Amino acid sequence: MAIEKLLWLIPLPPLIAFVLISLGANRSRGLSHSLAVAGAGLSWLGSMFVFWKALQVKDLTGFPIISTINWLPMGAEWLKVGIRIDPLSAVTLFFVAWTILCIFIYSIGYHNYNAPAGVHDQPGLPPHGALHTSDEGKIIHVPSVEPMYARFFGLISLFAFAMYLLVISDNLLTLYIGWEIMGLCSYLLIGFWYAKPSARDAAVKAFLTTRVGDVFMLLGLAALYTSTGSLSYDVVFRPDVVVQLAAIPTGVFGLSLAGLSGLLLFIGTVGKSAQFPLHIWLPDAMEGPTPVSAMIHAATMVSAGVYLAVRAFPLISAGWTPGSPLTPPMMVLAVIGTFTAFFAASIAIAQNDIKRVLAYSTISQLGFMVAALGVGSYTAAVFHLFTHAFFKALLFLGAGSVIHGMEHGALAEDDPVDVQDMFHMGGLRKTMPLTFWTFSAGGLSLAGFPLLTAGFWSKDEILSGAFSGRFWVVFIVLAITALITAFYTARQITLTFLGTPRSQAAGHAQENKPIMTYPLVVLAVFAIGAGWIGIPAGFPLTGAHQAGWIITFLSPMNPLEGHSPEVFSSLPLVVSLVVSIGGLYLGWRVYRGYQAGQVDPVERALGPVFSLLKQKYYIDEVYSAIFIRPARWMAEIFTALWLDNRIIDGMVNGLSALMPALGSLLRNGFDKPVISNGGDALGNRLIHWGQILRKVQSGRIQQYMLYTLWVIVVSGMVVFYLMGRG
């Protein structure tokens, strides 16, 4: 089969799985997960084949694998949709396929396939556990199967379909379609346990926050389409088109059309990849089941955001050459990325929830990628996207494994602790060795443990990019952030796995079945090894003259290729080394002796700053103060009919809180009194006419006909009169 044809088929298996599960396969749990895993497996197989084929192409950038069809006719022109494999999509496809497959397989175990159904379990709530008679005749409390097991696999298949569609797309339209379907899936999956109010709020918050980014992205699409007549990458990102766009001023902040549309697309990334100030949804998104967190944080959503920014890089960097001052859009990326990286990392050190720490680390690492793009390090950004997907999927699934093991212990011992709180864990390395080793591999990679791990190489690439471009602020802040990252990772590993158990649940935690741990092993291999393909040229130990494979593979995609003299410098390397080892040591040293009931050592050290971090800089509260409170004040001035009710009740984020205020203002301050009552007043003034009208309204059609005729005749007379005058 021609490789192009095969490419079209890649996203389909998960879609078919979704349809079949929705249409009836959901009656059987086994059939549902078999379909889902088979779908993901087929897509994986296709992806690997395409990836391997793509490697054979000599100049994949110049001659990507493409195929297009007509989809939405826009007048004489068709909006074509098509598929495209170039180095960027090939690399993305690779990590997406692996992570999705691992997550799918893992989910079977996570949702307790084959476990008994819980007595009190009901759809919309996490399973509470079931009573089970063991072989010795003892009645024990065991985990129970997820009540909406099939539904989960259906939705997650749709999620996978959307991501595959987005990656292989050759144009911004299909990318946008995949993007939006993912938004929908994230809404449905974050709110999977919909009977939990926190899950419902988190789902709405995620959908609305990312939607804010999406509409700006849609405007970016409109700007590009109206100026170029196309949304295909081949057209809108082609160098000569970009040059033309860069020459058209827009009058908005002095940006060129290229810069403006690049920025509009980037706002989409800010929403999807949870960059400041639209980051607020991602930490709450862990209300969904853990495999969903892994999907969102690694395989799909946030990666898609950065992927778009990378795609849009030709527009963002239009008119820039290395050495010259950054273009305004690049400046925006550099500032937002660097700030977000530091800001989120600092929050992570004060969180107790094992998943929440990871959530903030995701935001922080995405900040690294955005900052890298901002300073023009194209390949470094993609490389980090690549390695991050593996180690973050691993970490989330590992955290899920820990939680699952803890739940087991909690149920067996009837110990009602919060099974996600790291301060109740400890000593798990003995009871859950495989989870420990794999989680540590992921953690070390996140911390950038030197030489061995993937995270080290990609992070070093970003730091050296900032360094060689002389962006000192970016370099220093990111280096400090890397130190913090290593610190909170060591804190997490030490609290969770080292020392002695600090709760009964932790003491009786149990290692999970192979169906959950084997995917961890696979991901761990990548979390370590995926970096070796990106060792820079001239690195002393390897003595390679050739830069790592991924760098040479990707760099032709960089619009600035040929301009940037990638000089190897040992300073950033040394810095990476020091911050990583230093942070890890510090974290281990501080937390290794932690005993149950003690105050968090960081809290002792930081004092009031700690509570600032713990409360996430009060951003949720600030948004509420900026948007919700003034809105309420306005409501009380204009009307107390409903607004307070609405605000307290349902407004989950600042923006949607501002809207009802405006809406009520319009309805009660303008629509009702001016327009509606204006209409009523008109009616009242015609009250004696109304008396006549009432007689007319006898319900007899003939009379109504007469009435119309009368109106026509009178109007006709008016016109004839006018005609006579004219």
Partner 1 sequence: MHLSVLTFIIALPLLTGIVILLLPMSEKKAPRLLALISSLIALALSVWAYARYDIPAGGYQFIQKVDWLPALGISYHVGVDGISLPLVLLAGIVTASGVAVSWNIEERPREFFSFLMFLAASVFGVFCSLDLFMLFFFFEMAVFPKYLMILIWGSPKTREYGAMKLTLYLFLGSVVALVGVLAMVFLSGANTFDMLALEKAGFAADFQRLWFPFVFFGFAVLGGLFPFHSWAPDGHVAAPTAVSMLLAGVEMKVGAFAALRAGIMLLPEGARYWAYVILALATVNVVYGALIALVQTDFKYVIGFSSVSHMGLVMIGFATLNREGLMGAGLQMFSHGVMTALFFAIVGMVYDRTHTREINRLGGLIKVMPMAAVGFIISGLVSMGMPGFSGFTAEFPVFMGAWRSAPIVAVVAVLGIIVTAGYILLVVRRVFFGELPENMTGIIENVSGLDKFTIGFLSLIMIALGLFPSLMVPLVNSGVDRILLILGGR
Cβ 559 to partner 1 shortest distance, Å: 25
12 near partner 1, judged by CB under 8 A? no
Site for partner 1 in 634-693 (CB under 8 A): 642-643, 646, 649-650, 655-656, 659-660, 662-664, 666-667, 671, 675-676, 679-680, 682-683
The two counts, helices (H) then strands (E), for the chain are: 34, 4
Q: Which is nearer to partner 1, 55 or 248 (CB)?
A: 248
Tell me phi and psi for residue 636, to 5 degrees: -70, -30
Which of 124, 529, 556, 669 is close enough to bind partner 1 by CB under 8 A? 124
223 near partner 1, judged by CB under 8 A? yes
Which of 23, 139, 541, 701 is close enough to bind partner 1 by CB under 8 A? 701
Q: Which two tokens stand for residue 311?
A: 């795609």
Which of 119, 140, 215, 571 is close enough to bind partner 1 by CB under 8 A? 215
Site for partner 1 in 230-259 (CB under 8 A): none
25 near partner 1, judged by CB under 8 A? no
- The rounded distance, in Å, linking the Cα atoms of 237 and 220 is 13
Q: Which is nearer to partner 1, 117 or 222 (CB)?
A: 222
- The rounded distance, in Å, linking the Cα atoms of 270 and 267 is 5
Which of 140, 222, 473, 622 is close enough to bind partner 1 by CB under 8 A? 222
Other C-beta atoms lying within 10 Å of the C-beta of residue 528: 22
Which of 212, 412, 434, 486 is close enough to bind partner 1 by CB under 8 A? 212
Q: Which two tokens stand for residue 565?
A: 């003299």
Which residues neighbour 38 within 8 Å (Cβ) at sequence distance 6 or greater? 13, 17
Which of 181, 236, 394, 535 is close enough to bind partner 1 by CB under 8 A? 181
Cβ 535 to partner 1 shortest distance, Å: 41
Q: Are 656 and 671 in contact (CB under 8 A)?
A: no
Which of 113, 194, 539, 623 is close enough to bind partner 1 by CB under 8 A? 194
442 near partner 1, judged by CB under 8 A? no
Three-state SS string across 45-99, please? HHHHHHHHHHHHCCCCCCCCEEEEEEEEEECCEEEEEEEEECHHHHHHHHHHHHH
Tell me phi and psi for residue 288, to 5 degrees: -75, 170
48, with CB counted inside 10 A (0-12, 13-18, 19+), is middle
Q: Are 536 and 568 in contact (CB under 8 A)?
A: yes
Residues that bind partner 1 (rule: CB under 8 A) add up to a total of: 68
Cβ 674 to partner 1 shortest distance, Å: 8
Which residues neighbour 528 within 8 Å (Cβ) at sequence distance 6 or greater? 441, 445, 452, 453, 454
Q: Which is nearer to partner 1, 202 or 535 (CB)?
A: 202
Site for partner 1 in 63-82 (CB under 8 A): 70-75
End-to-end CA distance of the chain: 77
Q: What is the dihedral of CA 213, 216, 221, 224, to 10 degrees?
A: -130
119 near partner 1, judged by CB under 8 A? no
Cβ 431 to partner 1 shortest distance, Å: 38
Q: Which is nearer to partner 1, 534 or 660 (CB)?
A: 660
- The rounded distance, in Å, linking the Cα atoms of 14 and 181 is 13
Stretch that binds partner 1, among 27-35, 212-220, 292-300, 541-549 (CB under 8 A): 212-220
Cβ 304 to partner 1 shortest distance, Å: 14
Cβ 36 to partner 1 shortest distance, Å: 20
Q: Which is nearer to partner 1, 194 or 623 (CB)?
A: 194
Cβ 73 to partner 1 shortest distance, Å: 5
Other C-beta atoms lying within 10 Å of the C-beta of residue 388: 30
Which of 473, 605, 681, 712 is close enough to bind partner 1 by CB under 8 A? 712
Cβ 207 to partner 1 shortest distance, Å: 6
Pairing of strands 130-133, 77-85: unpaired
| SS3 of residue 351 by DSSP | coil
Q: DSSP assignment of 216-238, as one string?
A: HHHHHHHHHHHHHS--BHHHHT-
Footprint of partner 1 (CB under 8 A): 70-75, 123-124, 176-177, 180-181, 184, 187, 191, 194-195, 197, 200, 204, 207-208, 211-212, 215-216, 218-219, 222-223, 225-226, 642-643, 646, 649-650, 655-656, 659-660, 662-664, 666-667, 671, 675-676, 679-680, 682-683, 697, 699, 701, 704, 708, 711-712, 715-716, 718-720, 722-723, 726
